[in-house]
């Protein structure tokens, strides 16, 4: 227990914690790549999020049906339209 309390009292530990927090917050603030982003930015975005253990954002391009990290513009409107059509079809 004394070793753990010694770690909490060590200023090096808190500098490391603050640095990690800053690193992950900076990467979390990166905008998702879209169809106008360069290939390098798409690669950097995925690599940085993987290093920051932000795996859900890093694997966003692996979702079936999407080619990029972000769905194409207007994709949400199409999904909504299909859902409304299915709802109307199920009423009949």
pLDDT tens for 22-77 read: 988 888 888 887 778 888 988 888 888 788 776 666 666 565 554 444 555 566 67
Give the separation between CA 61 and CA 46, rounded to whole angstroms: 9
Tokens, residue 12? 């090096």
Is the pLDDT assigned to residue 84 strictly greater than 80?
Answer: yes
Name the residue range of residue 46's domain. Answer: 2-91
| pTM of the full structure | 0.48
Mean pLDDT of 6-15: 87
More confident residue, 52 or 12: 12
Residue from 92, 89, 41 nearest 68 by CA = 41
Q: For the chain, how many structural domains are there in total?
A: 1
pLDDT on residue 67: 46
Mean pLDDT of 11-23: 90
């Amino acid at each position: 227990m004394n070793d753990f309390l010694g770690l909490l009292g060590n200023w090096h530990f808190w500098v490391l914690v603050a640095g990690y927090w800053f690193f992950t917050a900076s990467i979390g603030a990166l905008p998702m790549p879209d169809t106008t982003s360069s290939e390098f930015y798409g690669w950097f975005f995925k690599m940085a999020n993987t290093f920051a253990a932000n795996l859900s954002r890093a694997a966003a391009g692996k979702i079936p049906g999407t080619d990029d990290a972000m769905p194409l513009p207007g994709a949400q409107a199409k999904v909504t339209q299909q859902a409304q059509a299915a709802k109307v079809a199920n009423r009949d």
